[in-house]
């Protein structure tokens, strides 16, 4: 690898940046260096969406548009991408982009501080739909999903949603995507990024060599957690090693016996693949943070981060996921539930990286994943429970239960599984297993929930699984609540 600067497409040309500190955020560069002050800083932790910008990532001959939080993304992490901010929406002749015109015509801005972030989330959806050839109107559900990572401090959501639905009514502006693609393709021919302290290899072999040579480097992927260490904890790293440029880790392979998901696959893409095989998980995935976090974060990063309240791990444990760890000394595989050794500690050696997550196929058993949090959207779990049971002739033949928020690490509820396997699938069995689950872990009390609540809630989620297995459904489910369903339930 040769020493070269960070390079990306911005405002019609390739920008080349030398000597970029490895933890300098994209938001800092935009506001302080580029003078693009339309992008705002709100929370500084990827929650409010005021800093939202859009990245274009090269996907063969097309661009994949992603709305991301610039406050927690490092400048080095957008190497080889295209970047748009709110200043880039207006046409060269001063005409408003359909996104902007829709916001104006829908009276969808009040104080205006959050408006640039909303506009960029809308722009990402606009470009995604245009790339796929969709010309039909945006429905309300699609609008809410696209805006899920943006907060309006003036509570002006209805006109913003209206604007999102209306933006396809206006004539589409001219946009030469092919010209952008050609410039990004030219960047791919250059050596991998090595700007001194910010490393971003392009192949797995390069990654393993760099990991062995820089065992103290901070490995980064989507920066959705490491970014917080920088913005909130004021930590700095001498060297960062970005895995998201590694081609082998960006792939998903669908095999007859398993899904092989590369560690650098974005959460939104990994969730889409999993939901294709387990459609019942769609509502669960929609509650994983906001869309910009899912478009930045990676499945491998979520796993290695190992937060006890991370939502991916309980589900993957229930699915029987295996991890592949690799270094220059070789490859080893292990079950996800065996990966963690303590709070945010795991079995990765200093010269190893997680390369793949393997999820067995075909789907077996009745799978459900539940999340309890104070807010319905864009919030961290107090309790997360994923349950998969194989029931044959009224008897539980197999069980896998993944738990989050109940211990210092994501855990498999092995005692509860033992209380179920081999027993009849009856109310009495479930009641007994609920008691085991409530005693199996020793959760803590914190700002999100008390230990007592967590124990009680975990047991109740198992009871909910039992009711759903019997065909019962709560008359009101928040993730599917509409005015029509509310009227029907209350009539």
The predicted structure's pLDDT at residue 475: 45
The predicted structure's pLDDT at residue 482: 57
The predicted structure's pLDDT at residue 293: 96
> What DSSP string runs through 53-112?
EEEEEEETTEEEEEEEETTSSBGGGGTT-EEE-GGGSS-TTSPPPHHHHHHHHTT--SS-
Beta-bridge mates of residue 387:
368, 401
- Backbone phi, psi, residue 274, to 5°: -65, -40
- Backbone phi, psi, residue 387, to 5°: -130, 130
The predicted structure's pLDDT at residue 481: 58
Q: How far apart are CA 228 and CA 469, in angstroms?
A: 40
Q: How far apart are CA 332 and CA 329, in angstroms?
A: 10
Average pLDDT on 346-353 reads 97
Closest to 224 in 3D by CA, of 139, 296, 278, 315: 296
Q: How far apart are CA 205 and CA 214, in angstroms?
A: 14
Q: How confident is the model at residue 188 (pLDDT cuts 50, 70, 90)?
A: confident
The predicted structure's pLDDT at residue 473: 63
Question: E-assigned strands of 174-228?
Answer: 193-194, 198-200, 218-220
Question: E-assigned strands of 175-315?
Answer: 193-194, 198-200, 218-220, 240-242, 252-254, 258-262
Per residue in 461-475, pLDDT tens? Answer: 999 999 999 987 654
- What DSSP state is assigned to residue 222? S
Within 10 Å of residue 150's Cβ, how many Cβ atoms? 27
Closest to 99 in 3D by CA, of 35, 150, 190, 168: 168
What is the share, in percent, of the chain residues with pLDDT greater than 70? 95
Number of H helices, E strands in the chain: 17, 20
Domain ranges for the chain, please list them.
6-179, 193-360, 366-469
Query: 312 near 273, Cβ under 8 Å?
Result: no
Per residue in 236-259, pLDDT tens? Answer: 999 999 999 999 999 999 999 999
pLDDT over threshold 80, residue 77: yes
Closest to 290 in 3D by CA, of 167, 151, 403: 151
Domain 6-179 fold: Ubiquitin-like (UB roll) (3.10.20)
Domain 366-469 fold: Enolase-like; domain 1 (3.30.390)
Per residue in 476-488, pLDDT tens? Answer: 455 555 555 555 5
Closest to 223 in 3D by CA, of 439, 383, 27: 27
Average pLDDT on 326-351 reads 97
Q: How confident is the model at residue 155 (pLDDT cuts 50, 70, 90)?
A: confident
CA atoms within 13 A of residue 257's CA, in its CB half-sphere: 1
Q: What is the residue-averaged pLDDT of the chain? A: 93
- Residues 448, 114, 25, 175, Cα dihedral to 10°: 130
Closest to 45 in 3D by CA, of 149, 152, 195, 165: 149
Q: How far apart are CA 297 and CA 227, in angstroms?
A: 11
- Backbone phi, psi, residue 288, to 5°: -80, 100
Burial-class residue 37 by CB neighbours within 10 Å (0-12, 13-18, 19+). middle
pLDDT over threshold 90, residue 19: no
Three-state SS at 414: helix
Per residue in 423-460, pLDDT tens? Answer: 999 999 999 999 999 999 999 999 999 999 999 999 99
CA atoms within 13 A of residue 327's CA, in its CB half-sphere: 14
pLDDT over threshold 50, residue 96: yes
pLDDT over threshold 50, residue 119: yes
The predicted structure's pLDDT at residue 1: 43
**CB contact set of 289 (below 8 Å; sequence gap of 6+):** 46, 149, 224, 297, 378
Average pLDDT on 292-296 reads 96
The CA-atom distances, in angstroms, between 157 and each of 30, 113, 240, 468 are 27, 14, 38, 33
Average pLDDT on 283-289 reads 93
CATH class in words for 193-360: alpha beta
Inter-residue long-range contacts of 258-261, CB under 8 Å, 24+ positions, other chains counted: 258/358, 258/359, 258/360, 258/361, 259/358, 259/359, 259/361, 260/356, 260/357, 260/358, 261/299, 261/356, 261/357, 261/358, 261/359
The CA-atom distances, in angstroms, between 191 and each of 10, 77, 195, 245 are 20, 15, 11, 12
Per residue in 255-283, pLDDT tens? Answer: 999 999 999 999 999 999 999 999 999 99
């Amino acid at each position: 690898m040769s020493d070269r600067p960070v390079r990306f497409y911005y405002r019609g040309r390739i920008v080349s940046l030398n000597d970029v500190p490895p933890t300098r955020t994209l938001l800092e560069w935009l506001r302080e260096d580029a003078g693009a002050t339309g992008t705002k800083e709100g929370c500084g932790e990827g929650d409010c969406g005021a800093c939202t910008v859009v990245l274009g990532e090269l996907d063969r001959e097309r661009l994949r548009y992603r709305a991301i939080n610039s406050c927690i993304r490092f400048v080095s992490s957008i190497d080889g991408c295209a970047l748009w901010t709110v200043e880039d929406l207006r046409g060269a002749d001063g005409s408003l982009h359909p996104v902007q015109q829709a916001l104006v015509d829908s009276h969808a801005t009040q104080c205006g501080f959050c408006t640039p972030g909303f506009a960029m989330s809308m722009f990402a959806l606009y470009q995604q739909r245009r790339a796929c050839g969709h010309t039909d109107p945006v429905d309300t559900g699609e609008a809410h999903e696209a805006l899920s990572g943006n907060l309006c401090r003036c509570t002006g959501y209805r006109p913003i949603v209206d604007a999102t639905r209306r933006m396809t009514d206006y004539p589409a502006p001219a946009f030469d995507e092919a010209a952008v693609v050609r410039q990004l393709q030219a960047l791919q021919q250059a050596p991998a990024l090595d700007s001194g302290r910010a490393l971003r290899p392009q192949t797995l072999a390069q990654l393993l060599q760099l990991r062995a040579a820089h065992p103290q480097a901070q490995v980064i992927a989507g920066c959705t957690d490491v970014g917080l260490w920088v913005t909130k904890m004021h930590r700095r790293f001498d060297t960062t090693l970005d895995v998201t440029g590694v081609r082998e880790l960006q792939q998903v392979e669908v095999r007859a016996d398993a899904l092989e998901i590369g560690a650098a696959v974005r959460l939104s893409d990994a969730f889409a693949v999993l939901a294709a095989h387990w459609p019942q998980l769609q509502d669960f995935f929609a509650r994983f943070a906001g869309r910009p976090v899912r478009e930045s974060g990676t499945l491998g990063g979520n796993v290695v981060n190992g937060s006890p309240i991370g939502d991916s791990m309980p589900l993957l444990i229930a699915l029987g996921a295996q991890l592949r760890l690799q270094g220059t000394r070789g490859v080893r595989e292990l079950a996800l539930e065996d990966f963690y050794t303590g709070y945010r500690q795991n079995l990765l050696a200093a010269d190893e990286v997680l390369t793949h997550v393997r999820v067995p196929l075909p789907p077996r058993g009745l799978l459900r994943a539940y999340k309890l949090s104070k807010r319905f959207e864009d919030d961290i779990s107090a309790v997360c429970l994923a349950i998969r049971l194989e029931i044959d002739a009224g008897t539980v033949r197999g069980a896998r239960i993944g738990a989050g928020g109940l211990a210092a690490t994501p855990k498999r509820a092995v005692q509860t599984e033992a209380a179920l396997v081999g027993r009849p699938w009856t109310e009495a069995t479930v009641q007994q297993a609920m008691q085991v689950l409530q005693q199996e872990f020793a959760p803590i009390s914190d700002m999100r929930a008390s230990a007592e609540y967590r124990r009680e809630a975990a047991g109740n989620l198992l009871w909910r699984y039992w009711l759903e297995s019997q065909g019962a459904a709560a008359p009101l489910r928040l993730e599917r609540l509409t005015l029509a369903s509310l009227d029907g339930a209350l009539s």
